[in-house]
Amino acid sequence: MTRYIFITGGVVSSLGKGLASAALGALLQARGFTVRLRKLDPYLNVDPGTMSPFEHGEVFVTDDGAETDLDLGHYERFTGVSARRTDSVSSGRIYSTVLEKERRGDYLGKTIQVIPHVTNEIKDFINIGDGEVDFCLCEIGGTVGDIEGLPFFEAIRQFSQDKPRGQCIFMHLTLLPYLAASGELKTKPTQHSVKELRAIGIAPDVLVCRSEHPIPDREREKIGLFCNVRKEAVIAAYDLKSIYEAPLAYHREGLDQAVLDAFGISPAPRPNLSRWDDVMDRLTHAEGEVRVGIVGKYTQLEDAYKSIVEALTHGGMAHRVRVRAEWIDAEIFGREDASPMLEGLHAILVPGGFGERGTEGMIKAAQYAREHQIPYLGICLGMQMAVIEAARNLASLPDAGSEEFDHESSGERRFTPVVYHLKQWVQGNHTVARKVGDNKGGTMRLGAYTAKLTPGSKVSDIYNATSIEERHRHRYEVDMTYRDALEDHGMIFSGLSPDAKLPEIIEVKDHPWFIGVQFHPELKSKPFAPHPLFADFVRAAKDVSRLV
């Protein structure tokens, strides 16, 4: 029997529902339970795949090719449970499904309404995989009172009534603001948020209160009294130095015990938190620091590169060093001399992205790393820019570029495209075909694909394997036509698709560490299992730091 925990938020957004959900999942695992985490987002986009990173932050990709909210990255990093397409849904996807059914005549001529048709679709989604795990944690995006979130709140209210008593609980996150003038925490916003929640038929079983100051017992009693929640189920959530402290911090506050008490699980299994003790020991007892320059086009919003930042942290933990990410705007960088911005860095990383803006700066970063023997990791677009740089400066193709950039202009061809629009590839047992004019949403090469590594190559040694599986999200590929010309100048294609038609990894000979990958390794890194590429990249940066 699967028990369901619905996580909602109130007062303000960005309180940390995703982090609280992930930490709770980790704590339940530590007590021996199996978990799955889901995100229900009220926005009308079908998925975040077509949103600008400035709008929504990073798009997290699952093995089965879903483009999802970045909170699913938190879920995976904290629990190690690979997310699936059925772990993320939006209002847009729900409404699209309902309308498709209506067009097919599935509703037999009935008038289609939010209740019951939309709410039933949401409930059906939540119920997928019922019985597979001990606990399913469902986070509802936004805050209580948002008009677009009302169908989701109604659906989880109905869902809790449909299930046997005691199989569902509600956990609500709120804010306790501190007024410096009066020197006190104010509980009224939390009271109003819970009142709003109860007005739609949901009574929280556990309250998680975000606060910058300790919550006195009398305030907990007051919150419990006015919100009809036991005092022991009023949990404080304080600001932390690292997100990876969250499982231990929430355990100290009694969150996992409060949840098990709400379900009536007694006696509760004792938790084994050794994994998280080790994670925090590695974080807090670093033996040095490395500086990694991230040359990207969305550097004004760090959430756009959330998984990359976390993967670098994991790589640092593997070698007990602190990784200091230094953000460099690729667009500004492209107009100015590169050297002053990159001097003193121990490594350079160029992440993924879309469009031509900032790419000349990325190309300069790749050139600087190659010529100055600085460790370089290019991810997706970062790999393509490294190839373009080598084509221009080594393989005598001064106008080398990407077909993507020509598509952005008025049809005028400005480059020799060494990177082209991917029109066909093999996925499982069938061939996928794409055209330039296709819809943008969900049409890229998405999800996990196998890559074959050249025995004896640097990446083969790093992975200790000749076959790997990594997640992709791109619609442009390096043209294999130029492979021989590039390899003649020391850029080796050391990873290929199983049919040897698509390049997956490049590396530069006679360089301490220069690797570009077409996939996104950061999506599979975890604090207790750092990704091999990031771990070795940080090791190479650490070696450079010792030489400086």
Could you tell me the CATH number of the domain that includes residue 389?
Answer: 3.40.50.880
Residue in 40, 41, 87, 96 with CA at minimum distance from that of residue 64: 87
**What does pTM read for this prediction?**
0.93
What residues contact residue 257 under an 8 Å CB cut-off, 6+ apart? 232, 268
Is 380 a known active-site residue? yes
Q: Which of 380, 403, 472, 504 is catalytic?
A: 380
Which parts of the chain sit beneath pLDDT 50?
Answer: none
pLDDT, one tens digit per residue, over 228-272 is 999 999 999 999 999 999 999 999 999 999 999 999 998 989 999
Is 232 a known active-site residue? no
CA 80 to chain CA centroid, nearest Å: 13
DSSP H or E stretch at residue 196: helix 188-199
Position 260 scores a pLDDT of 97
Q: Which of 314, 504, 522, 531 is catalytic?
A: 522
How far apart, in whole angstroms, are the C-alpha atoms of residue 189 and residue 176?
A: 7
Strand-strand pairing, 88-90 and 184-185:
unpaired
Residue 540 in any domain: the answer is yes
Position 424 scores a pLDDT of 59
Domain hosting 320: range is: 289-418+480-493+503-547
Q: Which of 172, 511, 520, 531 is catalytic?
A: 520
How far apart, in whole angstroms, are the C-alpha atoms of residue 111 and residue 375?
A: 62
The tokens describing 523, both together, are 């999506």
Position 533 scores a pLDDT of 98
Position 341 scores a pLDDT of 83
Is 139 a known active-site residue? no
Residue 355 in any domain: the answer is yes
How far apart, in whole angstroms, are the C-alpha atoms of residue 432 and residue 423?
A: 8
Q: Do both 264 and 198 map to the same domain?
A: yes
Amino acid at position 173, single letter: L
DSSP 454: P
Q: Do both 219 and 359 map to the same domain?
A: no
Residue 456 in any domain: the answer is no
Domain count, the chain: 2
Q: Which residue has the tokens 């969900």?
A: 442
- Orientation of helix 306-318 relative to helix 274-284, angle to 10°: 90
Q: Do both 351 and 206 map to the same domain?
A: no
CA 387, 393, 398: angle at the middle one, nearest 5? Answer: 90
**SS3 call for 97:** helix
Position 433 scores a pLDDT of 62
CATH number (domain holding residue 109):
3.40.50.300
Position 413 scores a pLDDT of 65
Q: Do both 118 and 263 map to the same domain?
A: yes
CA 223, 224, 225: angle at the middle one, nearest 5? Answer: 90
Residue in 295, 180, 175, 196 with CA at minimum distance from that of residue 239: 175
Q: Which residue has the tokens 């004792």?
A: 270
Position 382 scores a pLDDT of 96
Position 117 scores a pLDDT of 96
